[in-house]
Structure 1
Amino acid sequence: MVKNCETLNTTIKLLLCIVLCQCSLTATAQINILQNSIDKLAGYTNFSYDYVYKQKEAFGDTLILNQRFELLKKPEDKEIGYFFRQELKYGGMKIPTVSLYNGKNLTTLTPDSTYSSQGSQKTTFNESLLAELSWIKTFAEKQPSKFIQSGDTVINSIKSYHLILSTRDTVVNNAHVYTRIHLFINKITGLPAGKLIRSRSADFGKEITDYYVEFSYFNFKTDLNTINTAYFAMPEGYHVAKKKSPEETAPLQQGTKAPDWTLSDSDGNKVSLSQLRGKVVLLDFFFVGCVPCLKTLAPLDKLYEKYSKGKLAILSISIRDSKKLVAEYKATQRIKNQVFPDGGNVAKLYHVNSFPTVYIVDRDGKITNVVSYSSDDFEKKMSGIIDGLIKKS
């Protein structure tokens, strides 16, 4: 009997070793495909490519960007190792916004021929294919069981390897949440053809939210004579962007009359601030896709329920989103208060520069408080302010 048990244990251990070896070999195969793509890009003196970025959420498309990256290898640059230029267009833009790094700080060139400089070159470089592929490889090497190869597929008419990296897979409040990166690599060229990120999250809003991000890579060009050190110099004709005065950027002062406005909410109801005179008004400035804004939804709901007798009006104003998108956002997140699309001009009236920003307006139409979101005490802080204003009546 003892001998049989020992034989069984030996067999189980052997099977486990075989399975682990197979997983290791499989992970190695994926990493080799990925490494080949990295080596190809890193082997060029310079390279460029175009890509389209589409970000979608359960409540509709939020963003479509057309971008171009151009990189020049610079081993002597100890911070990045490359000079680079990123062009970005969205909406109806004809002239792109350009991010330019030539060994100094990152410089942003805007369509109005102004520029500004900041030290965020690493953040922008991390959006490049070379940096993204290197990150995936590092993650996969640390957790090879999370990196698998699916069957070959066709994306954008290109036959491609299909690699899948699972960076998160768990249960939160009985809901399955996950993040999976699907990478497609051209079988002929070895260069990326596309990437999908599918995610289900319970981290931010009140409800489980599905996210979908799509990248399409194309128009690769390598070792071009036109991409040299001079190519990354500051173009002529640009001037430093004029800084706004404190009066233009600072929040409106307490005690001043709140500027009046008129907007139609997501249901088409026209509302003006002046018609709410006699109530305390909470103005919540946000945009769809803003993570801190999602975190305000649950406390705003609680405030809505607490002051449901008509003493408080909560109005959420999107600074950029369409009526259709705002309506979908309100429905999927089960938002109880009124939500208004296309409120960019109102945000300018109130000097809103960060999100979310909350203004409290008293019964007489005067501003009493301007509050930035704090996850720890937002509801408590708002309740204290609102209770004080209601007691004054």
Structure 2
Amino acid sequence: MKTKIYLFSTLILLMSASAYAQILERVLTNFNKIQSVSYNSTSVNKDFFDDIYHSDTLKNVVNKQNGNLTYRFIGKKSENIYDGGKLFSLQFSDSTYRISSNSESGHYYESLLYVINRIEGFLKKGKKAIQLKDSVVNDKSYAHLRLAMMDTIVKNKPVFTHLTLLVDKNTNLPYYYRNNSKGFIDGTNTYITAFDEYRFTDYLVNPKQAEDLTKLLLPTYFILEKPKVFVPLLAKGTVLPEIPIYNLDGEKIQLSAFKGKVLLINFTLNGCPHCVNAIETLNAFQERYKKADFEIVTVNHSDSKEAILKYDKRFDIKYATYKCDATMLKQYSVQSFPLFYLVDRDGKINSAYSGFSAKIGDAMAQELKQLLQ
């Protein structure tokens, strides 16, 4: 049966601090009493840096016996198991796993644990909440709260984090959580949005035999993920490998066509936060040297033409983006993003930069100034 949700947002009632706090305190108090809980969940997320929505369906177990937190979250493509000391992250696509000491990673950010921590943080900060009229889901009534973690105006744009929460009035467990956020990347003029939506169903609280995740054995066919072998970047003085790139109309272009110009080659992809951080600096280079023998050649191997066009428009990118095949990534030693190569007028590598920061941006600015003298 298709889930029906009615959000009666037309009738908004401002709650007193004590009233909304009582609902949230009951959620926390109830959860803290639970020793073990299993549940199913669905998630929908929009990436900060593009308009692509990702969804998942998960089976979840959370145990807190003797004050020792363990959990297991199983999604469509991966699984996270925390045994109280180590986090095992299993990738189904290649049957590999990695081990970390950080319990807050992967599916944790789609979990009941994460939502409980957000509620706890909200109460500690003394933020204001709004109670909407109870919401009805499949003929069942839920307490409906809207929590404002942040709400202000910066650079004439709204900057906010609004949380929507539906709570089962009988069990005091969350049924629905939604995060809507807009704001700037720190230290930049890049304006981004985020959206996360989770539903929690089929709760089984304190079963007689809880799964012991401290003694869980991994499937024998899973192997430990091999660490990446570092490949050195192209050295100063190296002649550019002659690998074709393609404009977004599919036309083939040889890099030798840019000979005589100073090039800034930028390997990027849409979902990369540091790539977004670099846009403002690259746009400034483009504007400053638009009449010089200078070209920014941005290369995106992973994303579709349609996704690139939407991304470039959204972030007001002033320079051209090209496509390439996997051969180019190998020839240019691309293992992470962004990766920059500064190339002199003779088509030789002058320097390489992996990642992006204000310091890297300043270094590239000084180098460009020298190359274009």
Bigger Rg over Cα:
1
- Unmatched tracts of structure 2, length 5 or more: 1-12
Structure 1 residue 337, shift from structure 2 partner? 0.3
Q: Give yes or no for contact 1:53–1:66 (8 Å, CA) kept in 2.
A: no
Aligned to 1:203: 185
For 1:239, which of 223, 232, 247 is the aligned residue? 223
TM-score (norm 1): 0.78
Q: Give yes or no for contact 2:36–2:210 (8 Å, CA) kept in 1.
A: no
TM-score (norm 2): 0.81
The answer to whether the aligner puts 1:311 opposite 2:293 as a matched pair is: yes
Distance in 1 of aligned mates of 2:262 and 2:59? 48
Distance in 2 of aligned mates of 1:102 and 1:201? 36
Q: Give yes or no for contact 1:125–1:131 (8 Å, CA) kept in 2.
A: no
Structure 1 residue 88, shift from structure 2 partner? 3.5
- Unmatched tracts of structure 1, length 5 or more: 1-21, 90-95
Aligned to 1:216: 199
Structure 1 residue 304, shift from structure 2 partner? 0.6
Most deviating of 301-310 and 207-216: 207-216
Q: Give yes or no for contact 1:155–1:193 (8 Å, CA) kept in 2.
A: no
Structure 1 residue 207, shift from structure 2 partner? 4.9
Structure 1 residue 314, shift from structure 2 partner? 0.9
For 1:362, which of 328, 340, 344 is the aligned residue? 344
1:264 and 1:58, CA in 2 relative to 1: closer, same or farther beyond 3 A? same
1:137 and 1:104, CA in 2 relative to 1: closer, same or farther beyond 3 A? closer
- In structure 2, the residue corresponding to 1:227 is in which secondary structure? coil
Structure 1 residue 254, shift from structure 2 partner? 3.0
**Partner amino acid, structure 2, of 1:134:** N
Distance in 1 of aligned mates of 2:332 and 2:351? 12
- In structure 1, the residue corresponding to 2:149 is in which secondary structure? strand
Q: Give yes or no for contact 1:102–1:233 (8 Å, CA) kept in 2.
A: no
Q: Give yes or no for contact 1:323–1:340 (8 Å, CA) kept in 2.
A: no
Most deviating of 336-345 and 182-191: 336-345
**Partner amino acid, structure 2, of 1:298:** E
1:140 and 1:39, CA in 2 relative to 1: closer, same or farther beyond 3 A? closer
Aligned to 2:3: none
Structure 1 residue 371, shift from structure 2 partner? 1.3
Give % identity: 26
The answer to whether the aligner puts 1:26 opposite 2:12 as a matched pair is: no
Instruction: Give CA-to-partner distance per residue, 1:50-82, whole Å, 9 cap, x none.
Output: 222321568522533444432222325xxxx32
Structure 1 residue 45, shift from structure 2 partner? 2.2
- Equivalences for 1:98-113 in 2 at 5 Å? 98-111=79-92, 112-113=94-95
For 1:60, which of 51, 59, 77 is the aligned residue? 51
Greater helix content? 1
Instruction: Give CA-to-partner distance per residue, 1:172-220, whole Å, 9 cap, x none.
Output: 1222221111122234543322222212213366454333332233343
1:363 and 1:70, CA in 2 relative to 1: closer, same or farther beyond 3 A? farther
Distance in 2 of aligned mates of 1:242 and 1:235? 17
1:131 and 1:206, CA in 2 relative to 1: closer, same or farther beyond 3 A? closer
1:64 and 1:369, CA in 2 relative to 1: closer, same or farther beyond 3 A? farther
Aligned to 1:46: 37
Q: Give yes or no for contact 1:159–1:187 (8 Å, CA) kept in 2.
A: yes
- Equivalences for 1:179-190 in 2 at 5 Å? 179-190=161-172
Aligned to 1:135: 118
Q: Give yes or no for contact 2:264–2:296 (8 Å, CA) kept in 1.
A: yes
Aligned to 2:71: 84
Structure 1 residue 139, shift from structure 2 partner? 2.1
Distance in 2 of aligned mates of 1:344 and 1:168? 42
